[in-house]
């Protein structure tokens, strides 16, 4: 079976491939650019501290990271503590180019953690505990995001008054269609790699059992906005497949690529071992990103067909919404003639959510018209005949699950942000917008604050407000 493809040089083509080609409200948006400064994107994890006990085995800390990818930091922290990466527990991965704050539970003595010094990070030790934390154990995230250079679709700058008016208009429009402060629960571009959507490509190769292709893609697939040294490295790999020479060429910041290459130098034919040089969470992310394609295409198909995301149709699968905002997929129920009115009422009241598929070996699909859309999404992404069993790395096999089609943001605020000082410009800001960009250096700067449940993408909400190309997030 042929895998779905896209033109890397065409943002709209990439959006279609990722299923990110619909909107909740018809508006030109405000344009603009995110992450001009690292401090422009802040994430504070909302989580309860585990019960503390001086006799506890684990140390609880709150970590503040400045421009650190979570997996890389946790590996660095494990090395500094002299322990395995598997002995550090977190409830989620945060954005890289950002200032992030989250809870960590570390299986190491307090004195070892106190001696850790890693640049651009801070560790606040909260105490000892007997409890670990697991993925998505937190209550949500508080985002503070600054969008800079707001402009119209023709490239002309927007002033702050007009930009804020448009944000509030989009918020109101989404509320009319989806309910108060709700928006489509797309899986955001960073799940796939916004400037190099390699993750689902690698996932496709993994579920096909083709680990040589998975390694080739991870090392060699090009992206947009690559530096010259990264471009040279990726081309060198695709042209030569010389692991030793490419290891010498690889830039230092491509740590995962270098780990794969070291494994290949040691054993050139063992591509499974080379793939397993990636952190387990990143291995799993390749599978999750493949599932995410099906979900996004289901959501896009539903919007295109004019079906509601908030209120269910006959054949939909709905699930109870828990206090944390997550859904209880163990209590999924089909919507039938008998319970349709009751399900609609409970969805409007925020007690139930209409769900879409994250496919796997045992995933249930909706029935009726919603089921037709989900089946079409699986077919269009060519995931309809995938087994989802990864025999060579069994823990990557997945039974699948379902995810809410819409989600609510809370404690929303928008205000004008301060101008940038010249010494804090990013390289992209200094170079100015190119023809395909949608931002203007004289445009307004807005700061938006809001809370989201775990597993929800802030960039997806910002995309609804901005309507900028994918590489602006």
Asked whether residue 259 falls in the same domain as residue 303, the answer is no
Asked whether residue 125 falls in the same domain as residue 250, the answer is no
What is the per-residue pLDDT across 199-251, written as a single tens digit (0 to 9) for each? Answer: 999 999 999 999 999 999 999 999 888 899 999 999 999 999 999 999 999 99
pLDDT top residue among 169 and 1 = 169
Look at residue 2 and tell me whether its pLDDT is greater than 60. Answer: no
CB proximity list for 144: less than 8 A, separation 6 or greater: 41, 42, 44, 447, 448, 449
Q: Which of 278, 307, 339 is the last residue of a domain?
A: 278
- Domain-located, residue 309: yes
Look at residue 93 and tell me whether its pLDDT is greater than 90. Answer: no
Q: How buried is residue 271: exposed, middle or buried, by Cβ count under 10 Å (0-12/13-18/19+)?
A: buried
For residue 375, the model assigns a pLDDT of 97
**Beta strand 99-106 with 41-46: parallel, antiparallel or unpaired?**
parallel
Asked whether residue 107 falls in the same domain as residue 252, the answer is no
Mean pLDDT for the chain? 93
**Beta strand 406-408 with 410-416: parallel, antiparallel or unpaired?**
unpaired
- Domain-located, residue 3: no
Asked whether residue 308 falls in the same domain as residue 384, the answer is yes
- Domain-located, residue 424: yes
> Whole domain around residue 267: which residue ranges?
195-278
Asked whether residue 98 falls in the same domain as residue 20, the answer is no
- Domain-located, residue 190: no
For residue 418, the model assigns a pLDDT of 85
- Predicted model pTM: 0.89
Asked whether residue 416 falls in the same domain as residue 350, the answer is no
Asked whether residue 165 falls in the same domain as residue 17, the answer is yes
Going by pLDDT thresholds of 50, 70 and 90, the confidence category of residue 422 is low
- Domain-located, residue 134: no
Going by pLDDT thresholds of 50, 70 and 90, the confidence category of residue 3 is low
Q: Which 8-state DSSP code applies to residue 420? A: P
Asked whether residue 206 falls in the same domain as residue 270, the answer is yes
Asked whether residue 35 falls in the same domain as residue 164, the answer is yes
- Domain-located, residue 230: yes
Q: Which 8-state DSSP code applies to residue 357? A: E
> In terms of DSSP H, where are the helices of 267-399?
271-275, 280-304, 340-348, 368-380
Asked whether residue 84 falls in the same domain as residue 211, the answer is no
Instruction: List residues bridging with 414 in a β-sheet.
Output: 448
Domain count, the chain: 4
For residue 394, the model assigns a pLDDT of 97
Residue 63, domain CATH: 3.30.70.3160
- Domain-located, residue 17: yes
Residue 262, domain CATH: 1.10.1510.30
- Domain-located, residue 2: no
- Taking a C-beta distance cutoff of 8 angstroms, is the pair 39, 423 a contact? no
CB proximity list for 306: less than 8 A, separation 6 or greater: none
For residue 427, the model assigns a pLDDT of 84
The C-alpha atoms of residue 439 and residue 148 are separated, in whole angstroms, by 8
The C-alpha atoms of residue 12 and residue 86 are separated, in whole angstroms, by 39
Asked whether residue 430 falls in the same domain as residue 288, the answer is no
pLDDT top residue among 11 and 62 = 62
Percent of the chain with pLDDT over 70: 97
Among 15-19, 238-242, 297-301, whose mean pLDDT is lowest?
Answer: 15-19
> In terms of DSSP H, where are the helices of 57-159?
70-81, 110-114
pLDDT top residue among 326 and 120 = 120
> ∠ CA(199), CA(204), CA(209), 5° rounding?
125
**CA atoms within a 13 Å half-sphere pointing along the CA-CB vector of 437:** 22
Going by pLDDT thresholds of 50, 70 and 90, the confidence category of residue 376 is very high
Q: What is the DSSP string of 241-304?
A: --HHHHHHHS-TT-HHHHHHHHHHHH-TT-HHHHHTTS-HHHHHHHHHHHHHHHHHHHHHHHHH
Average pLDDT of the residues in 126-142: 90
C-beta atoms surrounding 215 within 10 Å = 27
Q: Which of 404, 424, 439 is the last residue of a domain?
A: 404
Look at residue 1 and tell me whether its pLDDT is greater than 60. Answer: no
Asked whether residue 34 falls in the same domain as residue 150, the answer is yes
């Amino acid at each position: 079976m042929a895998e779905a493809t896209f033109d890397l040089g065409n943002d709209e083509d990439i959006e279609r491939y990722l299923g990110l080609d619909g909107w909740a409200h018809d508006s030109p948006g405000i344009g603009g650019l995110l992450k001009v400064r690292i401090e422009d994107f802040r994430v504070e994890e909302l989580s309860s501290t585990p019960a503390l006990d001086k006799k506890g085995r684990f140390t609880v800390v709150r970590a503040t990271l400045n421009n650190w990818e979570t997996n890389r930091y946790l590996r660095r922290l494990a090395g500094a503590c002299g322990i395995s990466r598997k002995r550090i527990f977190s409830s989620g991965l945060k954005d890289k180019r950002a200032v992030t704050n989250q809870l960590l539970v570390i299986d190491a003595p307090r004195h070892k953690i106190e001696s850790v010094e890693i640049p651009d990070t801070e560790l606040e030790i909260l105490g000892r505990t007997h409890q670990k934390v697991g993925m998505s154990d937190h209550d949500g995230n508080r985002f503070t995001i600054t969008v800079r250079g707001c402009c119209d679709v023709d490239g002309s700058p927007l002033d702050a008054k007009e930009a804020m008016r448009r944000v509030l208009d989009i918020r109101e429009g989404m509320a009319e269609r989806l309910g108060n402060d709700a928006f489509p629960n797309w899986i955001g571009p960073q799940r796939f790699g916004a400037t190099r959507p390699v993750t689902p490509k690698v996932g496709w190769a993994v579920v096909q059992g083709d680990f040589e292709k998975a390694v080739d893609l991870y090392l060699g697939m090009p992206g947009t906005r690559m530096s010259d040294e990264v471009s040279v490295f990726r081309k060198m790999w695709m042209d030569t497949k010389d692991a030793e020479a490419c290891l010498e060429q690889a830039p230092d910041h491509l740590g995962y690529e270098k780990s794969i290459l070291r494994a290949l130098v040691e054993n050139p034919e063992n591509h499974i071992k080379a793939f397993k040089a990636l952190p387990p969470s990143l291995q799993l992310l390749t599978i999750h990103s493949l599932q995410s394609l099906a979900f996004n295409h289901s959501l896009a198909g539903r919007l295109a067909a004019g079906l509601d995301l908030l209120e269910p149709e006959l054949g939909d699968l709905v699930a109870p919404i828990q206090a944390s905002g997550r859904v209880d997929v163990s209590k999924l129920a089909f919507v039938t003639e008998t319970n349709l009115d009751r399900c609609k009422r409970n969805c409007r009241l925020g007690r139930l959510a209409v769900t879409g598929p994250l496919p796997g070996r045992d995933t249930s699909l909706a029935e009726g018209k919603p089921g037709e859309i989900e089946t079409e999404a699986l077919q269009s992404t060519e995931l309809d005949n995938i087994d989802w069993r990864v025999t060579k790395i069994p823990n990557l096999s997945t039974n699948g699950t379902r995810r809410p089609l819409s989600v609510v943001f809370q404690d929303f605020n928008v205000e004008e942000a301060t101008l940038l000082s010249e010494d804090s410009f990013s390289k992209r800001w200094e170079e100015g917008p190119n023809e395909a960009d949608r931002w203007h250096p004289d445009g307004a700067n807005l700061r938006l604050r809001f809370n989201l449940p775990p597993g929800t993408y802030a960039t997806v909400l910002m995309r609804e407000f901005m309507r900028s190309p994918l590489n602006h997030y």
